[in-house]
Homo-oligomer: A and B are copies of this chain.
Amino acid sequence: MKIENRRDEIIKSAAILFKERGYSAVTMRDLAKAMGIKAASLYNHIQSKQEILASIIIKLAEKFTTGMDTIVNSNKNAIEKLERIIELHIDVTLSNADGLASLNNDWMHLEEKNLQYFEKMRVDYEEKFRSIVREGVAKKEINSYNIEIMVFSMLSTLRTLYLWYPKKDEIDAEILKRDMISVLLKGIIPNKH
């Protein structure tokens, strides 16, 4: 039970509202109402609406970047690396599902500097993902289907986990990891022996 300051509470409330309606459709008056205060009072804790968005998105993007770097630098084969990536996405989703909505849908409303920083992290992340898949194909650990189709098929599912997982909370996190790894890597059709 960590003691939060007011700024963190505002950002947490904002993430929930941004998830429901998107950054542009949420007003500072909406956010203030959710906090039980007036809009003007928000500005004692934050500089601008934009700062809230950046705070949500950049923190999450950096988590993914750090996680991916650890995986890339590990001594594992391509399949094991993909398994770690799946776990990374599940862990981040469990810790901050609301914020992931902004990262996925509202990153384009970031201003100049943060937008560039975010876009670079996103491109780098995808490229590292792509390299792992390419390496797996080269070593025959992975089928040689079109690389982009494999990468974006997996990435699309992982990126939108935040949309449905919180609603299906009867699913245990360990079962989620285990079945998600099976479904994404081995498919849903039984293996013929």
Contact A183 B21 (CB under 8 A): no
Q: How large is the interface on A (under 10, 10 to 19, 20 to 34, 35 or more residues)?
A: 35 or more
In the complex, what distance in Å separates the CA atom of A90 from the CA atom of B184? 19
Given known pairs A105-B105, A157-B156, A176-B149, the reply for A186 and B183 (CB within 8 Å) is no
Copies in the complex: 2
Chain A 162-193 near chain B by CB (<8 Å), digits 1 or 0? 01100010010001100110111111111111
Q: Is the interface of A mostly helix, strand, loop or mixed?
A: helix
Contact B21 A150 (CB under 8 A): no
> What 4 A-B pairs are tightest by C-beta distance, nearest first?
A187-B187, A24-B24, A24-B25, A186-B187
Cβ-defined partner of A153 (8 Å) among B23, B79, B184, B192: B184
A30 / chain B contacts, CB cutoff of 8 Å: none
Residues facing B in A29-78 (CB within 8 A) are none
Cβ-defined partner of A175 (8 Å) among B146, B152, B159: B146
Given known pairs A25-B24, A143-B190, A157-B156, the reply for A183 and B150 (CB within 8 Å) is yes
Given known pairs A21-B108, A148-B168, A160-B156, the reply for A187 and B190 (CB within 8 Å) is no
Given known pairs A25-B109, A186-B187, the reply for A148 and B160 (CB within 8 Å) is no
